[in-house]
């Protein structure tokens, strides 16, 4: 029998209601920030799209760009 994954202690099953609540909140946050695709990262207040430039959000955690995003009416 293979050993249990070390992720198990971090990834506990959640009740369906908790998952739905998190999904709704994530969707609301995405709309608020005008997210247009996935994956999208918000780091240091700046938004990044895509998986091929992860060094950019990593850099933003140390040195934010402090850009003001357009607000939706």
Residue 73 lies inside a defined structural domain of this protein: no
- Based on the structure, what is the number of domains in the chain? 1
**What gap in Å lies between CA 66 and CA 49, rounded to an integer?**
16
Identify the band that residue 70 occupies on the pLDDT scale cut at 50, 70 and 90.
low
Residue 54 lies inside a defined structural domain of this protein: yes
Residue 33 lies inside a defined structural domain of this protein: yes
Residue 7 lies inside a defined structural domain of this protein: no
Residue 67 lies inside a defined structural domain of this protein: no
Q: Tell me, what's the pLDDT at 36? A: 86
The model's pLDDT over 11-62, given as tens digits with 9 standing for 90+, comes to: 778 889 999 999 999 999 999 988 988 888 888 778 888 887 788 888 888 8
What residues make up the domain containing 30? Answer: 13-62
Q: Tell me, what's the pLDDT at 17? A: 92
Residue 36 lies inside a defined structural domain of this protein: yes
Burial category of 70 from C-beta neighbours within 10 Å (exposed 0-12, middle 13-18, buried 19 and up) = exposed
Residue 69 lies inside a defined structural domain of this protein: no
Q: Tell me, what's the pLDDT at 43? A: 80
| C-alpha closest to that of 35 among 2, 70, 11, 73 | 70
Residue 42 lies inside a defined structural domain of this protein: yes
């Amino acid at each position: 029998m293979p050993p249990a994954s070390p992720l198990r202690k971090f990834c506990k099953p959640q009740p369906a209601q908790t998952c739905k609540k998190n999904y709704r909140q994530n969707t609301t946050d995405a709309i608020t920030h005008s997210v247009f695709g996935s994956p999208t990262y918000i780091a240091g207040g700046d938004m990044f799209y895509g998986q091929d430039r992860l060094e950019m959000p990593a850099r933003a955690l140390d040195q934010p760009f402090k850009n003001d995003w357009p607000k939706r009416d």
